[in-house]
Amino acid sequence: MKAIIIGAGLGGLLSAARLSKAGYEVEVYERLPITGGRFTNLNYKGFQLSSGAFHILPHGPSGPLAQFLNEIGANVEIVRSETTTVRVPLKKGIPDYGKGFKDISFSDFSTLLSHKDRLKIAFLIVSTRKNRPSGFTLQTWLRTQVKDEWLVKFADAFCGWALSLRSDEVPVEEIFEIIENMYRFGGPGVPIGGCKGVIDALESVIATYGGKIHTGTEVLKIFMEGGKAAGVLIGEEVHKADLIVSNLGHVATACLCEEALSGEKNSGYLQKLETLKPSAGIKICLAADEPLVGHTGVLLTPYAKRVNGIDEVTQVDPGLAPPGKHLTMSHQYVAPENVKNLEAEIELGLQDLKEIFPGKKYEVLLIQSYHDSWPVNRAASGTDPGNETPIPGLYVVGDGAKGRGGIEVEGVALGVTATMKKILG
């Protein structure tokens, strides 16, 4: 059996590794000269920046991605972050960090609420595990439960950091699936070597089982035979396969299928694809001689104007920066209406960093933005249309087809796991 994988991003390489291990003859085709997509390292002035993701696995060494890597024998060391902190103004009611701040533990978020609301939260934490809310956005649901804007700010910072969405864009069902996954798998971790540590390990597994990766090779078309996906066109050459897994997201994959999806029976699928909205975000990479965050986990910043959270990966792996330097990266959500004003959004982010790190010396290394065809997520979390397509033998993986409740790359891993179960049984 032969499988063709289109795209050597994380989803593509996870699929290639699993299928080659299962005995498939695997060929991976990647348009760019490098593998890893938005989950690899970019060497910039001696710092290992990332092409997209933050050198973080949202559920660390026991999450869906780590489990998948373990099952296929990919050798990656993942270090669990010691803490997640939240920066808040010294006194409640102060709108920003200008007059000073303190950091509290993520799990202590309810200590900033009134006594009555704290009891309500304690009750909800227990009751919602059995009776999950549904049919609202997270923000609407929160407002029906507790009248305190701190909770909305906190939710926005978390959703902005983890999903690059605002709390009024996230279905409450998706958040409760995420919370359940936090109970199940634990908090974030950092892979040694950054994103590329994972990609290198996957390539090694693929090579071990005889799979081949062709970089600089663009797939122009997916073709069918007898109503089933049967191969791809590269240049003028036809490459046949029994199975095709696309890492390009549903929309770009459908474009490669051309007329094969034009019939009446596929109109529902195509209409659904039109509703998909990629999520947008900005990452600001900082270099510093002294630690800025000071711990191995995430610092959420709900009182910043734009920045949602920051992490300092050199706290775990100093090899991600030149000796003696720290690499610190901030993430900010970009609202759909602000994608056209990216420079102004970046300025607000840079102002935030000055307020978050007053008196600290740092250099802005690179500012990276993601939207539209190279977004944070091809399908905003909670809207992923699954891994199947109307064409038998053609599957979609990656950040356009995440599994439910899977934050970023954990969602990619859950989606690949589900796809492999369909293919391999």
Partner 1 sequence: MKINENCVGCGQCASFCKKGAIEVKGKARVTDACVDCGICMLYCPVKAIEVPA
User: Binding residues for partner 1, per CB under 8 A?
Assistant: 32-34, 37, 42-44, 49, 51-52, 216, 342-343, 345-346, 366-375
Write down how long the chain is.
Answer: 425
Using CB atoms within 10 Å of the CB of residue 125, give its burial: 0 to 12 exposed, 13 to 18 middle, 19+ buried: exposed
Cα 158 to Cα 166, 255, 383: the distances in Å are: 9, 34, 18
Query: By C-beta, is 362 or 374 nearer to partner 1?
Result: 374
Q: Encoding tokens for residue 386? A: 């699954």
CB of 343 to partner 1, least distance (A): 4
Name the residue nearer to partner 1 (CB basis): 52 or 133: 52
CB of 282 to partner 1, least distance (A): 8
Q: Which is nearer to partner 1, 177 or 345 (CB)?
A: 345
Residue 366 CB, shortest distance to partner 1, in Å, is 5
Within a 10 A sphere around the Cβ of 128, how many other Cβ atoms?
Answer: 16
Beta carbon nearer to partner 1, 202 or 376:
376
How far from 316 is each of 156, 291, 295, 363, CA to CA, in Å? 26, 12, 9, 20
We find the least distance from the C-beta atom of residue 225 to partner 1, in angstroms, to be: 30
Nearer to partner 1, 340 or 361 (CB): 340
Q: Measured from the CB atom, is 84 or 279 closer to partner 1?
A: 279
The secondary element (H helix, E strand) that includes residue 232 is: strand 228-234
Q: Which residues contact 213 (CB under 8 A, 6 or more apart)?
A: 8, 13, 16, 28, 30, 35, 203, 206
121/252 with CB nearer partner 1: 252
The nearest distance, CB 341 to partner 1, in angstroms, is 8
CB of 344 to partner 1, least distance (A): 9
DSSP 271-329: HHHHH---BEEEEEEEEESS-SS-SSSEEE-TTSSSEEEEEEGGGT-GGGSSTT-EEEE
Minimum gap (Å) between residue 11 Cβ and partner 1: 15
Collapsing DSSP to helix, strand or coil, 240 comes out as: strand
Q: Which residues pair with 61 in a beta bridge?
A: none
